[in-house]
Structure 1
Amino acid sequence: MQAHLYVVRHPSAGLLFVQLLGVLLYPWMEDTPMSRALFGAFGLVVLGLALHVVKRSSAQTWVAVVLALMVLSLSVLDQLMAAASLQVLISLVEALFYLYAAVSLIIYMNADHRATTDELFAAGATFTLLAWAFAHLYTFCQLLLPGSFGALIDPQAARSWMELLFLSFTTLSGVGLGDIIPLTPMARALVMIEEFVGVMYLALVVSRLIALTVIKR
């Protein structure tokens, strides 16, 4: 009960927890016969939480609602009639949704001159939203241009969702573990853009929250 009330007061904490939980659960989902259905179900949970968090921010919510409805409709359609073109479109729309959600949270964190507990959780949730967004962009790139990403193990195979999410997290954080690499010009361009976004996010958003926390103390 107390945990539920805490999440209600700090919805960004709930979103952050669920996305980090997804990082732990995705490897177990990938090897199951119902992997697509499980990915879709978990993705809808993240989608709903992200939409709830965006609605509390200062950004207009109708764009997020439209994008979320598009993702939901396309996902249902994909379950009924799987097609490569649908998966390409879903990846692009999901990337746009998570990017918009991340921008909305950044606006929310910069709306005042104090760092609240929810805003600190929002900093972590925004990082995961950006990582998810670029992972979907990498998926879009791979579907559009097969062979866009290589790896040390089974280099000719298409990279899984977990591999692309791993690439996104390492790129965004600046760790740069290089066992998965972009091979095509479009893939390398996306990686460079994510590297820039990661540096700017830490320099402009996270550093500001830390400074406001120190000033408050």
Structure 2
Amino acid sequence: MNDSAPRPSRWRVHARRHPSAFLLAAQLLSLLLYPLLDGTGGRVVFAGFSALVVVLAVWVVNRSPAIGWIAWAMAVPAFVLSLLSVATGINGLLVWSSLLEALLYFYAAGSLIAYMLSDHRVTSDELFAAGATFTLLAWGFAYLYLVCQFWYPGSFTGAVEPGRPRSWLELLFFSVTNLSAAGLGDILPLGAPARVLTILEQFCGVGYVAVVVSRLIGLWLLRAGRH
């Protein structure tokens, strides 16, 4: 008997096996395209990329043991508020959108960490998940810094034009250098809320490397030794 059922495409097979890779690629692609975007049109395009990253984050959460509806409850309002903030130019909407996106990214990061710690095998998707978790944590704290700067003006200063508020890219740069312990020092937290957030991110960065990354490396070396 001939089986005429269509076979899934290669992209769908890879998407099923490596959902974390698509999330990581979307994060990095939006980062690479950001310097090319300027003005209102650029903000709209970047909002679209951010929405894609949010949807992929929800997708990764749905494929992990976490409850998907919680992620959607944060993703949909964040997406709507992001579009309204671009259309109306109201900063208050952007702040609440940023807060929801931060919560969503932390939720997705926690779900990926639970996924990586759920067994004693190391798969290629778990290696992609390690990179995706780092980007989710960095993006999440960057959105929190944006909210902190809006609620507490003067929370951050920089080597260039120290008196003005820091841009989104500057806060993301600060978040990545802080999470990775690079600490370049050209952007500094001034107020108590900003410094508390910075301390929490440093703690998360050290804990992530000590617990999750070191465990994956150890299991990978153990697997390589057996082979």
Structure-1 residue corresponding to 2:5: none
**Deviations along 1:100-153, whole A, 9 cap, x unmatched?**
000000011111111111011000000000000000000000111121111111
The number of aligned residues is: 216
Establish whether residue 188 from structure 1 lines up as the match of residue 188 from structure 2.
no
CA contact (8 A) 2:85 2:91 kept: no
Q: Which amino acid aligns with 1:207?
A: S
Structure-1 residue corresponding to 2:52: 45
Establish whether residue 14 from structure 1 lines up as the match of residue 22 from structure 2.
yes
| Deviation for aligned residue 1:76 | 3.1
Query: Quick check: 81-90 or 171-180, which moved more?
Result: 81-90
* SS of equivalent to 1:181: strand
| Deviation for aligned residue 1:26 | 1.3
Q: Which has the larger radius of gyration?
A: 2
| Deviation for aligned residue 1:79 | 3.6
Structure-2 residue corresponding to 1:24: 32
Match of 1:150 among 134, 157, 171: 157
In the TM superposition, 1:1-217 aligns within 5 A as 2=10, 5-29=13-37, 31-217=38-224
User: How far apart, in 2, do the equivalents of 1:205 and 1:189 lie?
Assistant: 23
Q: Which amino acid aligns with 2:96?
A: L
User: How far apart, in 2, do the equivalents of 1:122 and 1:197 lie?
Assistant: 16
Q: Which amino acid aligns with 1:78?
A: S
**Deviations along 1:72-112, whole A, 9 cap, x unmatched?**
22223324433232122111111101000000000111111
5+ long unaligned stretches in structure 1: none
CA contact (8 A) 2:30 2:46 kept: no
User: How far apart, in 2, do the equivalents of 1:191 and 1:151 lie?
Assistant: 15
User: How far apart, in 2, do the equivalents of 1:34 and 1:76 lie?
Assistant: 12
Larger relative contact order (Cα-Cα within 8 Å, sequence gap ≥ 6): 1
* SS of equivalent to 1:51: helix
Q: C-alpha root-mean-square deviation of aligned residues, in Å?
A: 1.4
Q: Percent identity?
A: 52
* SS of equivalent to 1:103: helix
CA contact (8 A) 1:58 1:111 kept: no
- With the length of structure 2 as denominator, give the TM-score of the two structures: 0.90
Query: Quick check: 84-93 or 195-204, which moved more?
Result: 84-93
| Deviation for aligned residue 1:4 | 5.7
Q: Which amino acid aligns with 2:166?
A: R
- With the length of structure 1 as denominator, give the TM-score of the two structures: 0.94
CA contact (8 A) 1:54 1:104 kept: yes
